[in-house]
Amino acid sequence: MMFQYVKLLLYSIFLSCKVYAIPLEDSGDALNLFGLEGLSENYAIGATFIEGDIAVPLKAGRAVYIRSPKWPNGIVPFDIHASYTNDQKSVIRGAMSEIMKSTNNCIRFVERNSSTSVWLRIIPSRGCWSYMGRAKSSGPQDLSLQPTGCVYHQVALHELMHALGFIHEQTRPDRNQYVRIQTENIQSGNEHNFNIFPSTSVSTLNRPYDYGSIMHYRSDAFSSNGLPTIKVITDTDKDWESKMGRGMNLSDQDVEKLKAYYSCS
């Protein structure tokens, strides 16, 4: 049987339930993207990472085929680990609430019950990471928010967006028209985190490049020397350099992409 490559929704989305092959270049633990204090390297049992915080199941150590469909009808059952404090739970629920309100409840996070077959299990593991889309066929699908370092509104939003099916903004095929990757400043061995997907495999949903996306890397992501690894190259957008990856909320384009992907009215 031949595997069909799934189209990745660029703005960070997988377009269907078909299969997409991803080369695994991270091994084991992965560096965090968020530049926050107190973070451990990302770690997941039975998985490795691409682009720093996207967990993918281990498969023969070389490549993995993953399925990343949407959550049916935009409904995401979830539970939050009991060890989080009430304040931390409030932060996580606040991120969920922003997504729900922004989409007029077209996307909904609901407490799982005994009949739930697949649910998002938010756990206090090592680091900040998530699987892509609805990646499991049964049981819990983990999303990690380390209590010291990850439980912030913007980080929870970013990881929930991965769980809804979105990849990082700067992987879109026209990326090089808007930013330049400063390879000389990237930590050795992390260059692959700046790969882009070809236009034959992804769709931009006809949305403009979004420097302000909650899914964009910081300008100093994976920097070896504190200097930028991502430089804005369009004169009209120079002010974005210090803001990329540092937003607190969904951008307008993030909301539009969510609505488009989940067919919200």
Backbone φ and ψ for 145, nearest 5 degrees, come out as: -130, 95
Instruction: Yes or no: say if 185 and 225 are a contact pair by the CB < 8 Å rule.
Output: yes
| Residues recognised as catalytic | 159
What does the alpha-carbon distance between residue 220 and residue 231 come to, in Å, rounded to a whole number? 9
Q: Is 168 annotated as a binding residue?
A: yes
Q: Is 81 annotated as a binding residue?
A: no
Structure tokens at 102: 């922004």
Q: Is 153 annotated as a binding residue?
A: no
Burial annotation 238-248 (CB, 10 A radius, 16+ → b, else e): eebeeebbebe
What does the alpha-carbon distance between residue 151 and residue 172 come to, in Å, rounded to a whole number? 28
What is the DSSP-derived secondary structure letter of residue 32?
-
Instruction: Yes or no: say if 140 and 21 are a contact pair by the CB < 8 Å rule.
Output: no
Residues tagged in the binding site annotation: 158, 162, 168
Residue list for the binding site for Zn(2+):
158, 162, 168
